[in-house]
């Protein structure tokens, strides 16, 4: 038995076949798969902290988890190779390292960056249909950016979040640092959004609202009214999960 160490793992996964990250009995989850693999290698139970609890069908290219171990079996390279063998190809670890004792993948994170991918074309792409939202109707990117800019700063996002179960008093105030749409070749557009943290379904709700603006179903200036109202029923357009990817998590005090 060795002294306790805090381990950080940087990983990516395709969320198509998982019911999200958080463990749920009886269904496949990213957290359940990777925790089981780690315990198999280290020979001891562990508790995982995760930077972003992605929903069912959501992907990650820059997810971060951490855990405490006292196992004398810990070897970074061996653990990485074992996890990738056990959990691949849908889950792959990029890096494993020992970090400071006060590091926590969730609570030490200062900013999360997500991308949401859309194919705006009359015809879908079957090779990417599980990682992008196909929208046939032409989108007005300028109007969508007008809406996105109104999300910047600190706001109560009650209207754009699903409130956590059993936590009626939980704060849904978040600070958005970046929110913009980018146009790419071959009819693809991408929403880039960064914040200190996100609440449940928040990014998908922001995307859905922007798309409603881009198809003239809402106005960009409606954003302020909906934010102030703190009423979930006023922002019912929710983008499907499969276009969303957690891209990066920032730890200024630890990186």
What is the set of active-site residues?
55
The whole-angstrom distance between residue 120's C-alpha and the CA centroid of its chain comes to 22
CB 42 within 8 Å of CB 69: yes
Alpha-carbon distance 241 to 201, whole Å?
9
Q: What residue has token string 């969303």?
A: 244
Q: Phi/psi at 82 (nearest 5 deg)?
A: -70, -45
The dihedral through the CA atoms of 7, 8, 14, 17 has a sign that is positive
Alpha-carbon distance 107 to 69, whole Å?
18
> What's the CA angle centered on 113, arms 177 and 163, to 5 degrees?
80
Alpha-carbon distance 12 to 248, whole Å?
10
Alpha-carbon distance 122 to 71, whole Å?
55
Alpha-carbon distance 104 to 65, whole Å?
8
Q: Are strands 173-184 and 153-156 parallel, antiparallel or unpaired?
A: antiparallel
CB 179 within 8 Å of CB 205: no
Alpha-carbon distance 146 to 188, whole Å?
19
State both tokens at 61. Answer: 């290219």
């Amino acid at each position: 038995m060795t002294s306790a160490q805090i381990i950080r793992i940087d990983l990516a996964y395709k969320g198509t076949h998982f019911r999200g990250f958080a463990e749920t009995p009886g269904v496949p989850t990213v957290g359940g798969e990777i925790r089981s693999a780690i315990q198999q290698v280290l020979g001891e139970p562990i508790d995982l902290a995760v930077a972003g609890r992605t929903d069912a069908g959501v992907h990650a290219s820059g997810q971060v988890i951490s855990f405490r171990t006292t196992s004398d079996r810990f070897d970074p390279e061996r653990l990485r190779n074992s996890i990738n063998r056990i959990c691949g190809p849908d889950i792959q670890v990029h890096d494993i390292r020992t970090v400071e004792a006060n590091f926590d993948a969730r609570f030490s994170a200062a900013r999360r960056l997500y991308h949401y991918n859309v194919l705006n074309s009359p015809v879908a792409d079957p090779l990417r249909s599980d990682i992008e939202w196909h929208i046939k109707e032409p989108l007005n990117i300028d109007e969508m950016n007008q809406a996105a800019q109104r999300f910047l700063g600190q706001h109560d996002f009650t209207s754009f979040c699903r409130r956590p179960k059993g936590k009626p008093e939980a704060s849904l105030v978040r600070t958005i640092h970046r929110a913009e749409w980018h146009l790419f070749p071959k009819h693809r557009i991408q929403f880039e959004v960064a914040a200190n943290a996100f609440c449940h379904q928040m990014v998908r709700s922001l995307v859905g609202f922007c798309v409603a603006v881009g198809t003239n179903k809402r106005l960009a200036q409606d954003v302020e009214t909906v934010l102030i109202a703190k009423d979930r029923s006023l922002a019912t357009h929710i983008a499907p999960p499969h276009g969303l990817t957690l891209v990066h998590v920032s730890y200024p005090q630890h990186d």
